[in-house]
Amino acid sequence: MTIYFDHNATTPLHPDVFEAMRPWLMSRHANASSLHRGGREARAAVDEAREQVAQLVGAHPSQIVFTAGGTEADNMALKGIAGTTRPARLLISPIEHPAVTDAATALAASGWQVDTVAVDGDGRIDLADLERQLADGDVALVSIMAANNETGVIQDMPAIADIVRAANVWLHTDAVQAVGKYGFDFARSGAHCASLSAHKIQGPKGVGALVADKHLDMAPLLHGGGHEQGLRSGSYNVAGIVGFGAAAARLSEYRGAEIEHMRKLRTMLETGLDTMPGITRFSTGAERLANTCQFAVAGYDGEGLLMLLDREDIAVSSGSACAAGSGEPSPVLLAMGVDPAVARGAIRVSLGPENTAEEVEQFLKVLGRLSGGAAGAMPGSISASVLSG
Amino acid sequence: MNVLDDGHTARRWLPRFLSPRHAVVNYAIMRWQGIGDADTPGADAECRLHIACDGLCEQVPIAAAAFAAFGPPVVIACADWACEWLEQRTIGDAHGLSVAHFEQALALAPSERYAALLVLDALAGALENSRLDQDRPYLGS
Amino acid sequence: MSAGADSIYLDHAATAPLAPGVADVMQRVLVDTPANPASAHGPGRAAATEVDTAAQALGGLINAPPGSLVWTSGATESINLALKGGAEFAGCGAHIVSVATEHRATLDALAWLEKQGACITRLGVDGDGRIDMDALSDAVDADTTLVSVMHVNNETGVVQDIAAIGALCAERGVALHVDAAQSLGRLTIDVGAMNIALLSVSAHKIGGPKGVGALYVRQRPRVGLAPGIHGGGQQKGLRSGTLATHQIAGFGAAARHVVAHRDAEQQRLAALRERLWQRIGATDGALRNGASDSVAAPFLSVSVSGVHGDALLTGLTEGEPALAVASGAACSAAKGQSSYVLRAMGRSPREAGASIRFSLGAGNDADDVDRAAERFVAEVARLRALSPAA
């Protein structure tokens, strides 16, 4: 039975969410844009989900634009806002998810200047640097994620928003990780738009949303039919959206208790890690998501350790799932000033509400055993230990 | 809040569209005193109202009212409702019928108001366009 | 599935119920294989295997190698990626040739590209909705980047001769993009034999789930595309974002089902469709849109004189029995404009507005067709009798 400690990559679908989706998969199949009864019922279900998602994140239903996921929402925000103005400057943090970083790189190819705001050793945005960079002028958009997927670091969004708004600039935040493991509230964050993803909160993959202030001017990414007030065309994934809504509704009720549970397990994990030699934990000085712990084991290659743990039926990740197998140290850790040799050894444990204390104990036991044989897990000797395992 | 802007959510008047009771084709009246036509080209809609009564003084009761209409469903519903309303009333009452009456009775959405205006135009024509011959009151059906 | 006591579903072109077996596959994957397919661990690899299996199935349906498929969130996204990605890759001076009757996804994307400086040629169609091969040949020149044609029109079911168009494009060295959202699972598609460079498809039109589609991107010779969604580099960087394993698995299951049943089913639907037309066509002033030998089997588009389109649609969809049909495409229904596709075929604005699309599917039988025809004829008569022209 696999111990699944990779909830920041994705979460298992909650049974209640599946039950909510079931009728829309099985029998209620109408296209939500159709004018007949079935179509109207489907549209009503989409609207209900819209309210549920809005409720969870502290937004108004009319601010929710459904997308096919968090990555699309990030692309919509960056390219959509950039698309309404001439190329200028774009400020992002150096610890963004590739969806933001790569979208920014694409914009750079069409004349945008992408600058990064400094972060401290724990991965928190340097507010003074943010002010300085804004003061240099010509910034059209700032994008800073509310919580980081690798380290779990939570940014002080209200403080960031104050600075960005004072400079009269739009602020986007990737809130994909923040929603379920922290009480992210769109209105309180001060951001003008925020990206969300259903499969990080025990909802289905393939659906997300961009929460957007009514005043925000955005060019759509997808054309064709004008759905979602012209912002995002394409037939509605009714079952997926209903699932998103159900996941949001469930989370609205249980988030507090689940966060507490994950925090307890994480404390147990970190207490255990702190007794082991050669373990470096990252971002210890910052407020972090209750479920996330990123650390490195001295003498180990992160990818290699991941594979060893996988053989013991424990699923974790090294850095973002998207970049798995690239062999490069995490840009997030490098931006925090972590030594590349140390960063290369990083793995990430991201807990979920269904994880147990026994699983944490088992993990610590296995890790202790593996790291006891530290000499056998240097890069280059990985294949040997895998073959002999 | 319905952000999908379909305008089809309310339509309390739908049964009237599906089963109107005052279509002129169902009336056996041979001579209508007043017949009025109006159209709303923008909606590709037309309405014709027929009134049967024994005179045009305020207190004269309306014996029958019927419609013929072409257009979106709300037009047919408004025309049918207007006829039902008229049949219990007098010529004087007819002059006082307004858009507000339609809006309230049929829960019209703002985008549907034009249908009420169309029917009222046809009614105004019918009230003016009297074929009443004072010496020969209408022969009841 | 389609005939309740008071409703008959005849709107399969808008969307269809999940094909048998698809829901079970999706449930199994949702419960047993929830991991991210890009993750390196065991659960991730299991998810990746499900994705590969689906690619095999869909690839088999269009005779394309599994590795040439890019999963998207639907045909709309696939079309946006093909057109915008192709234009961006070509750089300045992109010239795209398409047709006036394409889906809104194509037309709106092309309009946007035009605003960005691309040159767009939109061919007209004849009274049967077909393009003229000579006109196409004339429109394609040395600068043409891409030709984009819908295989089966979503409003009328009219079929374009993709094999001939593909041959012409191959001759001229121009890439052909085909919107196959309505033809997948209905007509034979062979991307190699038909010289198709890019093919957009949608799962929910063939009994798969909503919210997932694919774009076939030819590998040899390679077709250059700039990605539309960046970040994470999945799918060779062409379309980033976590793959929705259950959605893709559902698409694959639908593809497998279609392969087994397509030809027999299309024959059955063609017969039902003619039966429907026989009963409806007797009505005075009822016009069939598209010639029966060039309209895909499940489709019947009928224009009716002397009735208002909104009234006809409402009367049919709200009466007893309620017919789930469409007037114009589902996607652009809310706009209340009369169908640009039918106007392009020569119908007057009023006729184009007073048009109904029947699209038959699994679960429709002769009884459905007879009851639907009866309802249609009755409603047309009723509305005409209500009209001042009566």
- Which chain B residues are within 8 Å of C307, Cβ to Cβ? 70
Within this chain, do residues C238 and C111 fall inside the same structural domain, yes or no?
yes
| Whether C7 and A37 lie within 8 Å, measured CB to CB | yes
Q: Which residues of A are catalytically annotated?
A: 322
Structural domain range at position C348: 7-17+262-386
Judged by CB atoms closer than 8 Å, whether chains meet at A236 and C245 is answered as no
Quote the percentage of chain C above a pLDDT of 90.
Answer: 87
- Is residue C186 less than 8 Å (CB to CB) from chain A? no
The answer to whether A60 contacts chain B (CB < 8 Å) is: yes
C314 and C242 in one domain?
no
**Residue C128 confidence (pLDDT) above 90:** yes
pLDDT of residue A148: 97
CATH number at residue C132: 3.40.640.10
Q: Grade residue A380 by pLDDT with cuts at 50, 70 and 90.
A: very low
Is residue C2 situated within a structural domain?
no
Measure B104 CA to nearest chain A CA, in Å.
Answer: 24
Contact B69 C310 (CB under 8 A): no
By C-alpha distance, the chain B residue nearest A230 is B4
Chain B hits for A35, CB-CB cut-off 8 Å, are: 6, 8
Closest chain C residue to B66, measured at CA: C386
Q: Give domain status of residue C1, yes or no.
A: no
What pLDDT band is residue A321 in, cutting at 50, 70 and 90?
low
How high is the ipTM of this complex?
0.89
Q: Chain A within 8 Å of C34 (Cβ-Cβ)?
A: yes
- Assess whether C13 and C50 both reside in one domain: no
Q: Which of C199, C229, C256 is the last residue of a domain?
A: C256
| Band (A327; pLDDT cuts 50, 70, 90) | low
C165 and C186 housed in the same domain: yes
The answer, for C9 touching chain A at a CB cutoff of 8 Å, is: yes
Q: What is the mean pLDDT of chain A?
A: 91
> What's the confidence (pLDDT) of residue A319?
65
**Band (B124; pLDDT cuts 50, 70, 90):** very high
Q: Is C289 on the interface with A (CB under 8 A)?
A: no
CB contact under 8 A, B4 and A43: yes
Nearest Cα of chain B lies from the Cα of A228 at a distance, in angstroms, of: 7
If you average pLDDT over residues A333-360, what whole number do you get?
94
User: Same structural domain for residues C295 and C215?
Assistant: no
SS3 state at B51: strand
User: Is C287 in the same domain as C379?
Assistant: yes
Instruction: Assess if residue C358 is contained within a domain.
Output: yes
In this predicted structure, the answer to whether residue A106 has a pLDDT above a threshold of 50 is: yes
Binning pLDDT at 50, 70 and 90, where does residue B130 land? low
Which residues face C183 on adjacent strands? none
Domain boundary, last residue among C240, C256, C272 = C256
* Residue C283's CATH number: 3.90.1150.10
Choosing from C256, C274, C304, the residue where a domain stops is C256
Q: Which residues of B touch C319 (CB under 8 A)?
A: 18
What count of CB pairs under 8 Å joins A to B?
21
C192 and C273, same domain (yes or no): no
B5, B6, B17: best mutation site toward chain C, by most C Cβ within 10 Å?
B17
Q: For position B88, what pLDDT does the model report?
A: 82
Q: Mark whether C159 and C298 lie in a shared domain.
A: no
pTM confidence score: 0.90
In a domain, C353, yes or no: yes
Chain A closest-CA separation from residue C325 CA (Å):
7
Q: Is residue C74 part of a domain?
A: yes
- List, for residues B2-60, the tens digit of each pLDDT value: 223 344 556 889 999 999 999 999 998 778 889 999 999 888 999 999 999 887 788 88
Separation in Å, CA of A196 to nearest CA in chain B: 19
pLDDT at A126: 97
pLDDT surpassing 50 at residue C386? yes
Same domain, C307 and C338: yes
C390 to B45: CB separation less than 8 angstroms, yes or no: no
pLDDT band for A323, please (50, 70, 90 cuts). low
Which chains sit next to B, with 3 or more Cβ pairs under 8 A? A, C
- For residue A40, the chain B residues in CB contact (below 8 A) are 6, 8-9
Among partner residues B6, B68, B72, which is closest to C386 by beta-carbon distance? Answer: B68
| Tens digits of residue pLDDT in A269-318 | 999 999 999 999 999 999 999 999 999 998 888 888 999 999 999 999 98
Number of domains in chain C: 2
Confidence of residue A382 (pLDDT cuts 50, 70, 90): very low
